[in-house]
Amino acid sequence: MSSLYRLAIIATLLVAACTRPADTQQKAPSPSASGTPAAGSSQPQTPPGNAETAGRIVGLPDFTPLVERQGPAVVNVVTTRTSRSGGTPAAGSPNDPFFEFFRRFMPEVPETPPPEQRGQGLGSGFIISQDGYILTNAHVVADADDVTVKLADAKREFKAKVVGIDKRTDIALIKIGATGLPTATLGNSDRLKVGEWVAAIGSPFGFSNTITAGIVSAKGRTLPDESYVPFIQTDVAVNPGNSGGPLLNLKGEVVGINSLIYSQTGGYMGLSFAIPIEVAIDVSKQLQSTGRVTRARLGVRIQELTTDLAKSFGLDSANGVLVASVERGGPADKAGIQSGDVILKFNGETIDSAAKLPRLVASSKPGSEAIVEIWRKGSKQDVKATLDELPSETKPGQKPAPGGGPVKPNSLGLVVSELSASQRRALGVDYGLVVQGVEGSAAETPLRPGDVILAVNQSKFSSVDEFNALVAKQKAGSAVALLVRRGDDMLYVPVKVRG
């Protein structure tokens, strides 16, 4: 999602895994009921296991059989990393408070780099094969110098090899040299229901084989900057060290991998997110086979279709996603998809959210042909696109510079000026107008000076007069969709036409 519409998030998405030496120097956690299932449910589930209920509260789930069956397959993952940050700064280093004094008045004193420091990280994982393959989070083992796996019996530990990591889904596959290991039973997250009991087993703050429980709060969650994972949201207590551990249903089946928490403090606040097990297994198979993950790409930037935008394009509903920009020479460009098109279906599947399209495209095979149903200027049409492989890294783009002299505000309340020839070349566009001022109804939108306007609804323009003419065609009080570029991002912004 572009920064144009991204709201300031007060709470920070925190990786729930890797603790550092500073993290471990904490007071022992006080007793808390955050991991205890709440009583008083109007329709309690039948406890798993046998009918023995002596000493237990009847009507609440019993997690003891689950722990007994799956606990042995959960492991503690310990990593070490070398860094040059932290600690006491060396004399003459940039971190030394007297560094500037020595630099100015004693330049012959050499600058001493800070000393290397070894830090330790903690995470969790679970065994998926008897010959030692283990699933965990990418952020648990990424950039680690050494990875050690401690088994649940606390008597055996092994050096682990990182088979591969996939940062886009936060999945990693590691392997230890052992056989005959206990393995976790894998389930199906699609069968999960909101409100269903689930449990997590892991090593929060290094306390191995800790179980916490709660319910499924939501499914298919989309988080900022996370395009390829439909997260499972729970209220299971997850803390640093839990990352990479399994999320289990009452049958003792792994339905997800605990990955993130949403927190204002750095600790658990009731919002935990797990990666569906199907996503993790698909990634692990590719990592085991080739050491990397391949995904297809369409070559478009998209945004959520709001009601105002849908109306401006002549759609009755806000189903579909809006194409904000098309990569030159990419699969969508070759197929004839244009900025301003609304993608309604991909290979026959309805696109009902902006998060769904990237997942469908990524799960396709590079080189395969996809049928994309689009809405363009009042009618539907199908286009065929041959998908490319998604590169591992994207190239940084250039940011627009301010334009030339301003002109008077138009009926949208915008003061704009033309891009110079050099600015157009830098941006790779044929024509555009730089926003110099924002007034009236436009002031109520995310538009700001420095934004570059490239199109009105689905029509491009080649002069200020043509731009104003396109705006003037719109009825007073209606919304016009402006294609706006800000830095590397492109987005359609609805602006109401003044009367």
CA dihedral 363, 304, 333, 429 (to 10 degrees): -140
DSSP secondary structure letters along 97-154: TTHHHHHHH-TTSPPPPPPPEEEEEEEEEEE-STTSEEEE-HHHHTT-SEEEEE-TTS
Taking the CB of residue 44, how many other CB atoms lie within 10 A of it? 15
411 noted as active-site residue: no
What is the C-alpha to C-alpha distance for residues 292 and 283, in angstroms, rounded to an integer?
8
Residue (of 127, 377, 372, 349) closest to 245 by Cα position: 127
Alpha carbon 320 to its chain's center: 20
Q: Greatest CA span in the chain, whole angstroms?
A: 83
DSSP secondary structure letters along 345-402: EETTEE--STTHHHHHHHTSPTT-EEEEEEEETTEEEEEEEE-EEPPSSPPPPPPPPP
Residue (of 90, 133, 137) closest to 114 by Cα position: 90
Q: Are 411 and 498 in contact (CB under 8 A)?
A: yes
Given the residues 124, 203, 217, 243, the one annotated as active site: 243
Secondary structure of residue 19 in the 3-state scheme: coil
Beta bridge partners of 238: none
388 noted as active-site residue: no
DSSP class of residue 28 equals P
Torsional sign, CA 25, 246, 229, 392: positive
Phi and psi at 17, nearest 5°, equal -105, -80
Burial class (CB in 10 A: 0-12, 13-18, 19+), 256: buried
Given the residues 2, 96, 166, 170, the one annotated as active site: 170
243 noted as active-site residue: yes
Q: Are 239 and 261 in contact (CB under 8 A)?
A: yes
Alpha carbon 452 to its chain's center: 27
Given the residues 96, 139, 208, 388, the one annotated as active site: 139
Q: Are 77 and 125 in contact (CB under 8 A)?
A: yes
What is the C-alpha to C-alpha distance for residues 236 and 88, in angstroms, rounded to an integer?
38
Active site residues: 139, 170, 243
